[in-house]
Amino acid sequence: MTEAQTSFQDLAQLCRDLEQTTSRNEKAERIGELLKNLKRDEISPAVRMIVGKIFPDWDERVLEVSGRTVWKLLPKQRQRQAALLPSHLTILEAYRNFSEIAAASGPGSRTKKERVIESLLGEANSLEAEYLTRMLLHEMRIGVVEGVMLEAIAKASGSNITLVRRAMMILGDLGEVADLALTGGKTALEQVTIRLFRPVRLMMAEMSYDLSEIFGEHKSGTAFEFKFDGARIQVHKKDGEVRIFSRRLTDVTRSLPDVVETIQKEVRADEALVEGEVVAVGPNLKPLPFQELMRRFRRAHEIGHAIHEIPLKLYLFDILYLNGRQLIDLRYEERWALLSEICPPEILAERIVTGDLDEVQRFLAKAMNAGHEGLMAKALDSPYVLGVRGRNWFKIKPADQLDLVIVAADWGYGRRSGWLSNYHLAARDEASGTYLEVGKTFKGLTDDEFEWMTRRLQQLKISEGEYTVSVKPELVVEVAYNEIQKSPHYKSGFALRFARIVRIREDKRPEEADTIERMRTLFEKQFEHKGRPI
């Protein structure tokens, strides 16, 4: 006799309970209780549905269901007077329906999707319909982020949280990690290794503005590489096939056939996972602004024309897998040696290994004069820690600064709840005497400064909407940024990239703030070493 499947109502009720629970630990405990009672084939679907990600980031399937479609079909749901009337819908049936919705494509796909959604909601009671709708629209809002789910998986399986996190960084699928942990435990998690064509989470770096800090951290020595103003990619190669993934784990292979050709021709390995950046270059091979590169990444048609219009330069700087061997636990200097063996110097990041401050400064100037962003500093003895930001890697990016005026602020949420903490930055337009927005930022301030800013901006309040408070243009802040971009979204015509507040300048009057004209001059100056936007 077939064992009964778990009702979707059990999962929906858990979601409601989680929404009403504020304790992170209690959320993990409650999820773990459900997971321990599920049958093996129910674990992965349940985990994905609870976090509201029906498919992993690397999975190309998408639901593509609009709110309008769901709201149109909800009134057709079979009327049930009580929220908890019995339902025949199971976790597996709900997930099969989601898969069927994602599979609908081509002519008539919208009708097919609507038919499946109508049937799914028709089987559901009102509680189930509420959470099915949230899942369809990717709006769970029950406070279960990836970290909470990983803790729940560790609790339910009795596994070490570090092992669970590492498996997630390699596999990129909470459902599969949960299945392995609950059915195979520590042994199964320890056996998780990189799989080619399954993208992994990339290692990240801390920002540093002090080179002496880097030398103090990296006791075994430091390698300095050019930091490119490009798009980070991981490239998987096996038996001649090449696939390229973005830092968001999206497959961008079709948009980058020129990079595929370079890898096939230049990377001398049957199997490899290498990491690097691609940079858009102009006719003089100078780097183009980041916006131009994004035009290539978004291009789905007329790729041949795009290759000619926006050529790319590939720079590789790490290797995580080579001919059946996982390399992430090797020292950086060992990984670099292996990368150098299989790649010509022309496609490798330019680098030096030194402990001499003056030499680093000269190398930084060389990178900037070549049109790049700055330098990366990497500890020679550092392993590749998937998905983690740490001090084994540092970013060194000399940032320009502007004095700007705050003209509005948004109420924060999460940890910044109760503070005005997302600031609308503006430069002075000398012609009109007004202040025109050039960007927003919530970065750079301490908690005490957030509190101070909230009180000060409330004193300057002109008007207030649901989320935004408009203020008199009186408070000046010193803002660091990495690039000025052309922007159709702001009346000023400009937008700052990676803006962050360095100091609150109570000593400056708004009339002393930088002007739109100065921003225009700085925008033009950027192209002394870079190619101009196309």
Q: What is the pLDDT of residue 2?
A: 54
Q: What is the pLDDT of residue 76?
A: 65
Model pLDDT for residues 443-452, shown as the tens digit of each residue: 988 888 999 9
Model pLDDT for residues 170-193, shown as the tens digit of each residue: 999 999 999 999 999 999 999 999
Q: Cβ-count burial of 301 within 10 angstroms (0-12 exposed, 13-18 middle, 19+ buried)? A: exposed
H helix runs in 403-507, sequence order = 447-459
Strands laid side by side in the 351-353 sheet: 204-207, 389-396, 374-379, 222-227, 351-353
Reading the block at residue 296, the tokens are 């290539």
Q: Vertex 127, ends 122 and 131: CA angle to 5°?
A: 85
Asked if residues 59 and 102 have their Cβ atoms less than 8 Å apart, the reply is: no
Q: What is the pLDDT of residue 1?
A: 40
Amino acid making up residue 368: M
Per-residue pLDDT, averaged over 301-306, amounts to: 76
Model pLDDT for residues 327-349, shown as the tens digit of each residue: 999 999 999 999 999 999 999 99
Q: Any idea of the CA torsion for 4, 7, 10, 12, to the nearest 10 degrees?
A: 160
Q: What is the pLDDT of residue 399?
A: 64
Model pLDDT for residues 189-218, shown as the tens digit of each residue: 999 999 999 999 999 998 786 788 899 999
> Which of 76, 84, 83, 89 lies closest to 45, judged by CA?
89
Per-residue pLDDT, averaged over 60-89, amounts to: 73
Confidence of residue 74 (pLDDT cuts 50, 70, 90): confident
Model pLDDT for residues 48-66, shown as the tens digit of each residue: 999 999 999 899 999 988 8
Confidence of residue 229 (pLDDT cuts 50, 70, 90): confident
Asked if residues 294 and 249 have their Cβ atoms less than 8 Å apart, the reply is: no
Per-residue pLDDT, averaged over 132-155, amounts to: 93
Active site residue 440: no
Strand stretches in 190-290, DSSP E:
204-207, 222-227, 231-238, 241-246, 271-280
> Which of 513, 263, 516 lies closest to 403, judged by CA?
513
Asked if residues 371 and 228 have their Cβ atoms less than 8 Å apart, the reply is: no
H helix runs in 330-396, sequence order = 332-342, 357-369
Amino acid making up residue 187: T
Q: What is the pLDDT of residue 86?
A: 65
- Cβ partners under 8 Å of residue 174, min gap 6: 47, 48, 51, 53, 56, 146, 149, 150, 153, 168
80 pLDDT exceeds 60?
Answer: no
Confidence of residue 67 (pLDDT cuts 50, 70, 90): confident
Per-residue pLDDT, averaged over 277-282, amounts to: 93
403 pLDDT exceeds 70?
Answer: yes
Average predicted confidence (pLDDT) for the chain: 91
Q: What b-and-e string marks burial along 350-379, b requiring 16 or more CB atoms within 10 Å of the CB?
A: bbbebeeeeebeebbeebbeebbbbbbbbb
Q: What is the pLDDT of residue 274?
A: 98
Rounded percentage of the chain residues whose pLDDT exceeds 70 = 96
User: How far, in Å, CA of 91 to CA of 39, rounded?
Assistant: 10
> Residue written as tokens 């049937």?
119
- Facing residues of 322 across strands? 272, 325
Confidence of residue 169 (pLDDT cuts 50, 70, 90): very high
The residue among 251 and 71 whose pLDDT is bigger is: 251
User: How far, in Å, CA of 225 to CA of 395, rounded?
Assistant: 10
Q: What is the pLDDT of residue 35?
A: 97
User: How far, in Å, CA of 135 to CA of 29, rounded?
Assistant: 22
Give 3-state DSSP helix, strand, coil % of the chain, rounded to 5.
40, 25, 35
The DSSP annotation for 134-156 comes to HHHTT---SS--HHHHHHHHHHH
User: How far, in Å, CA of 341 to CA of 330, rounded?
Assistant: 16
Q: For the chain, how many helices (H) and strands (E)?
A: 18, 19
Per-residue pLDDT, averaged over 147-167, amounts to: 96
Q: What is the pLDDT of residue 77?
A: 61
**pTM exceeds 0.85:** no
> Residue written as tokens 């930001």?
389
- Pick the catalytic residue from 27, 113, 155, 227: 227
Q: Which of 175-184, 453-462, 466-475, 520-529 has the highest mean pLDDT?
A: 175-184
What does each C-alpha distance from 308 to 254, 282, 296, 527, 529 come to in angstroms? 15, 10, 11, 21, 21
Q: What is the pLDDT of residue 534?
A: 67
Per-residue pLDDT, averaged over 371-387, amounts to: 95
The residue among 70 and 163 whose pLDDT is bigger is: 163
263 pLDDT exceeds 80?
Answer: yes
